[in-house]
Structure 1
Amino acid sequence: MRPFAIGLTAALAVAALVPAAAFAAPKDAKPAAAVDAKSREAGMKEAPPLLTQAGVACQVSDARLIGADKKSNTSYYEVACQDAMGFAVVAKKDAAPQAFSCVETGQPGSDGKESGLKCLLPGNADPKQGLKPYLTKAGAACDLQNARAIGTGNNNSFFEVSCAGGAGYILQIPVPMKVEGTVANSCLLYDETGNISCKLTDRATQLQVVDTLAAAAKNNCAVKDKRYILTTKTDNYFEVACQDGKGYVLQQATANGAFVRAIDCANAPGGAECTLTDTRAAKTEQAGLYTSLAKKAGYDCKVESYGLFPSQDPKKEIVELKCSNTPKGGIGIFSAAENRVYDCVTGELNGFRCSYTKADVEFTRLWDDLKSYNKAGCQVSGARIIGRTDTSGFVEVACADGLPGWVLSYPLNQASPKPNELLSCLQAKGVGGGCKLPTNIKK
């Protein structure tokens, strides 16, 4: 399982907040009660082209001239955008105009005083609502409760949002601000002491979602302890330790926050292993269960260790088995409807590659299959899967004597199939690019 990379090193390097001086009020700025027709008229006339020059997409619904500083030849505007974020615009003569979101300008400075560029227009009355389109575009399920600006670098602006239920996100929005390219990462991905981190909710609050997921799992787990594990492109993973000593990995869809499944710690996928629960006894018990299931499937394997493959069906387990009583491993398909175990050759033909079993362990099996076609003289010294159709898989084999090898065809979706066809490399040249093992290539 591969965690979703967010480039924290790069993120942490951008962290300077927009300077407080940029939000200082011009000397003739109008107070809230004085947003009059004259300032609106000037704003509606002058601000829209400045926003365009700043690279901000905005269908202006309202605007006002905040004021001007004649000494620095700088004018200040506020604009409200139709169904979007509002902005304060700083336009200095002979310089490109700058646009700051109303979330940024609405935050008090380090001295506790309000910014002179705080947005006052009715359309900007609740600036955080302007972040909703960015959350939606980023695929973050969030009933927005609060927001704050963190800072802006050369390429991105960073905002924190808190959501109902305790969840929170860091929004990374391209500069100039546009919905396309926005990324939302869970607050749980960030170090609480970092300069890009979540302050609106603490870690305990952010982990409240785990209790909801545990309840949805319906496995009678009274949560004793919990932790965040990792995030992939599609899912969040959490661990819970239960009062009865059991433990689970809880999988949550990032797209909508929904519970996906609970995975027993004994079967936790690679990269999401449990640390809050001692899983040794559980793993031993699970290995015994897989030994029994393999035996029912007609496969003699005393399971020493095992690893799970991802399964689209939560009621079906796909497990690689390592056996202590034989060097041969296998791929078990276990569910209420079926118990099936593939050997490692057949398993790979069906899309599951063994990692516990060495490739040459299966050479004897392939040699036996060649003998059924009176090809005992080809003692197998090499093999590889070369292709599949909807019904058959093809294995190229090389012969120890250096003579040309063969291609064996096997039916798919059968646990221990016999080959249904033997082809020479010449006959199999159209299958997966043909034979490639060194002794099978004509010199």
Structure 2
Amino acid sequence: MRPFAIGLTAALAVAVLVPAAVLSAPKDAKPAAAAAAVDAKSREAGMKDAPPLVTAAGVACQVSDARLIGADKKTNTSYYEVACQEGMGYAVVAKKDAAPQAYNCLETAAVGADGKDSGLKCLLPANADPKQGLKPYLAKAGAACDLQNARAIGTGNNNSFFEVACKGAAGYIVQIPVPMKLEGTLANSCLLYDETGNISCKLTDRATQLQIADTLSAAANNGCAVKDKRYILSTKTDNYFEVSCQDGKGYVLQQTAATGALARAIDCANAPGGAECTLTDSRAAKTEQAGLYTSLAKKAGFDCKVEKYGLLPSDDPKKEVVELKCSNRPDGGIGVFAPTENRVYDCVTSELNGYRCSFTKPDASFPRLWADLKAYNKASCEVSAARIIGRTDTSGFVEVACADGLPGWVLSYPLGQASPKPNELLSCLQAKGVGGGCKLPTNVKK
């Protein structure tokens, strides 16, 4: 499993605080004190001057409202607020003979060091709740968030950074390209960021953020009374948490990032690579699980003392598909275990049914194939090589070569059965229309 790389080092290097000039308007500026003070004259001046300034500042904003905040005659600087038809509003600083600069309303909402509001705080009705402007970006990034609070962190050369707090304790750092646009937006869990870094979450603490693990554990409904929990990692599509339980068991909880819902709860004994358990004794869990698979395999008629196992993908959350390596026999198999089904395919028929053994060497299956040849009075063909050559809706075909160098054979097996006997024996001539026919060296005519 590969964690999702988000370039934190670079992000930390470029993120900067909002310039002090944004947090307090110059003394000569005359900002409106409240929304009611946004009069027709300031709006008229704003709607006349601000739209071209917004464009010149490189901001993607179709201006729906604007006001002139004030002007500083000493520095030839004018200050405007604009509201956009979609997304966040901005404060625009326009200085003579310099390119205008735009700061989003979350940045200008920050309280100054003196505890007072910024002179450029957004007051237009459309900008009254500037955090709402982040919703389109969260949706674009695929973050499931019922937005409760937000703050601006800082802006670098390439990206702006925001923190959002969501209902249910989840939180994200939202990274938006400069100038702000939907394309390229990322939203990463607060848990990915060091609490002491200059890009980190302050609206919710780590303990609060980890409450999601309790919610996911409850959704798993596996009887786990959570004792301890931790965040493990995130990929592009999922977040992973570990919980240990009061009864000594433990689970990895896989959360779908796009919805915030539990995808699956994985016993620590079966934790995927890169997301192993550390809060519980995973070695003991694996030993216990191996014993369980030994018992299940025996019930399915496959005598295997499991010394190693590996989970394979399953299209049914109630069905486990497991490769088994046995300590009491050279060949292993693929176990399919479910409430209504217990079967183990040996490594010959497993591949015919869509599962490939990796723990078992190919020649470990040769004795089984030779035994099947003997049933057709072909004991002289001691199997020296084998390969799958094709299948139909009902049967799979295995080509075998003989150790004495004489022409080999093709065995046909019925599909969907754990360890079936062959239902047909074909010569290579008879099987020439199956999957391109025989191709093992001793079976090909010189």
Shorter chain as normaliser: what TM range?
0.7 to 0.9
Asked if 2 retains the 8 angstrom alpha-carbon contact of 1:429 and 1:435, the reply is no
Instruction: Name the counterpart of 2:324.
Output: 321
Instruction: Name the counterpart of 1:77.
Output: 80
Q: List per-residue Cα deviations over 1:280-300 (Å, max 9, x = no partner).
A: 443333222211211121211
**How far does residue 245 in structure 1 lie from its aligned partner after superposition?**
1.6
Change (3 A) 1:394 1:49: farther
After TM superposition, the structure 1 = structure 2 runs for residues 82-101 of structure 1, keeping only pairs within 5 Å, are 82-93=85-96, 95-101=98-104
Instruction: Name the counterpart of 1:38.
Output: 41
**How far does residue 335 in structure 1 lie from its aligned partner after superposition?**
0.7
Which of 212, 215, 219 does residue 212 from structure 1 map onto? 215
Change (3 A) 1:299 1:259: same
| Aligned mates of 1:296, 1:127 — CA distance in 2 | 63
Instruction: Name the counterpart of 1:17.
Output: 17
**How far does residue 370 in structure 1 lie from its aligned partner after superposition?**
6.3
After TM superposition, the structure 1 = structure 2 runs for residues 325-336 of structure 1, keeping only pairs within 5 Å, are 325-336=328-339
Which of 145, 155, 158 does residue 142 from structure 1 map onto? 145
Q: Greater CA deviation, 178-187 or 22-31?
A: 22-31
Q: Greater CA deviation, 181-190 or 60-69?
A: 60-69
After TM superposition, the structure 1 = structure 2 runs for residues 44-443 of structure 1, keeping only pairs within 5 Å, are 44-70=47-73, 73-93=76-96, 95-109=98-112, 112-366=115-369, 372=376, 374=378, 377=381, 379-381=383-385, 391=394, 410-417=413-420, 418=422, 424=428, 431=435
Asked if 2 retains the 8 angstrom alpha-carbon contact of 1:425 and 1:440, the reply is no
Q: List per-residue Cα deviations over 1:19-72 (Å, max 9, x = no partner).
A: 333555243242324432222112112222333344433332211122344565
Q: List per-residue Cα deviations over 1:311-332 (Å, max 9, x = no partner).
A: 3322111111111101212111
Alpha-carbon RMSD: 3.4
Q: List per-residue Cα deviations over 1:318-358 (Å, max 9, x = no partner).
A: 11111110121211100111111122343334333333223
Change (3 A) 1:118 1:442: farther
- What amino acid is the match of 2:174? L
Instruction: Name the counterpart of 1:3.
Output: 3
**How far does residue 3 in structure 1 lie from its aligned partner after superposition?**
2.7
- What amino acid is the match of 2:15? A
**Length, aligned pairs only:** 441
| Aligned mates of 1:142, 1:190 — CA distance in 2 | 18
- What amino acid is the match of 1:149? A
Asked if 1 retains the 8 angstrom alpha-carbon contact of 2:298 and 2:304, the reply is yes
Change (3 A) 1:63 1:340: same
Asked if 2 retains the 8 angstrom alpha-carbon contact of 1:364 and 1:380, the reply is no
Asked if 1 retains the 8 angstrom alpha-carbon contact of 2:229 and 2:241, the reply is yes
Asked if 1 retains the 8 angstrom alpha-carbon contact of 2:227 and 2:245, the reply is yes
TM-score normalized by structure 2? 0.85
- What amino acid is the match of 1:118? K
**Secondary structure, counterpart of 1:266 in structure 2:** helix
Asked if 1 retains the 8 angstrom alpha-carbon contact of 2:31 and 2:120, the reply is no
Q: List per-residue Cα deviations over 1:178-210 (Å, max 9, x = no partner).
A: 123222111111222223221211111100111
Report sequence identity in percent. Answer: 80
Q: Greater CA deviation, 194-203 or 402-411?
A: 402-411
Q: Rg bigger for which structure?
A: 2
| Aligned mates of 2:356, 2:39 — CA distance in 1 | 72
Change (3 A) 1:53 1:428: farther
